Amino acid sequence: MALRLPGRALWQASPRLATLSRVSTQAPRWTRSYAIPPLEENRTAIVTGSSRGIGKAIALRLANDGYDICINDVEANKSGCDEVVKEIEGLGRKAFAYTADVSNLNEVQGLVQASVSELGPLNTMIANAGISQVKALLDLTEQDLKRMFEVNVFGLYNCYSTAAKQMISQGGGGKILGAASIVAFKPFPLLSHYSASKFAVRGLTQAFAMEMATHKITVNAYAPGIVGTAMWDQIDEGLGELKGVKKGDTIKKYSEDLIALGRTSVPEDVSSTVSFLASKDSDYMTGQTIVIDGGIVFT
């Protein structure tokens, strides 16, 4: 006749088994590789179009996060760049201004070289510079289209590619971020070529993410909505003229009718998200375009 013992009795009966854990608690082990240096190391970033607006807010936020910053804009905005440099230095971080037009590849290459020379190896590139224009689709000229894509698409490509080559030569990975927009998901009327340029930003961001992954470089974009900046003031004024309404009415109507949270965004809403995308906390994200619009576009 077979002898059957309860499991508890068998466990207690065997001195050898009694010394073993019933469940293995050994967790798998792996080494996490960060796309930016640890906090104790120097971190540097270039922020294009950072003399004012969202770019300025991003530069100040990254400085507060511990970055040394290269401030960039076109020559016409140099005084604004110098003011941002002073603010960053007041926060105890290094900063310097370098004027360059992002649509000119040679100037972007000079920008990156200057940043590395002044601040050290490049960890983060924020391709923030961009332009907009309010104009009916059938009224667009060849020059309108050309200039929009020169700055918003070729300019982004120049920043992405030049920064990537620098990061690859340094080794150790890096972060590349670009400015998209909600119109990269849902075009606005009278902003057709601007919308198309921002769709291209999404495409380039995804393509770069795939090809840069092997170099431990992550590439993402941020998509602001309706923000209280000089660019949106220009859009508001242009739409107002075309629709016959006074300045401020269009952006007010958009904010009330379109934004779930019921208010126009401020640059700091965007810079907070960029701070996350530039940090180690986003190391497992690449090829994404993150919308920060208060609830206009839902992805």
In which residue are the tokens 């040394």 written? 68
Give dist(CA 78, CA 116) in Å, integer. 20
What is the gyration radius of the CA atoms in the chain, in angstroms? 25
Which entry of 56, 160, 198, 254 is annotated as an active-site residue? 198
Number of residues written out for the chain: 299
78-90 vs 53-64: helix axis angle to the nearest 10?
20
Who contacts 62 (Cβ-Cβ below 8 Å, separation ≥6)? 45, 47, 69, 124, 126, 274, 275, 278
Tell me, yes or no, if 198 is annotated catalytic. yes
Partner residues linked to 127 by β-bridges: 178
Which entry of 98, 157, 160, 194 is annotated as an active-site residue? 194
User: Could you tell me the CA-to-CA distances from 170 to 163, 164, 173 in Å, in that order?
Assistant: 11, 10, 8
Catalytic positions, written as ranges: 194, 198
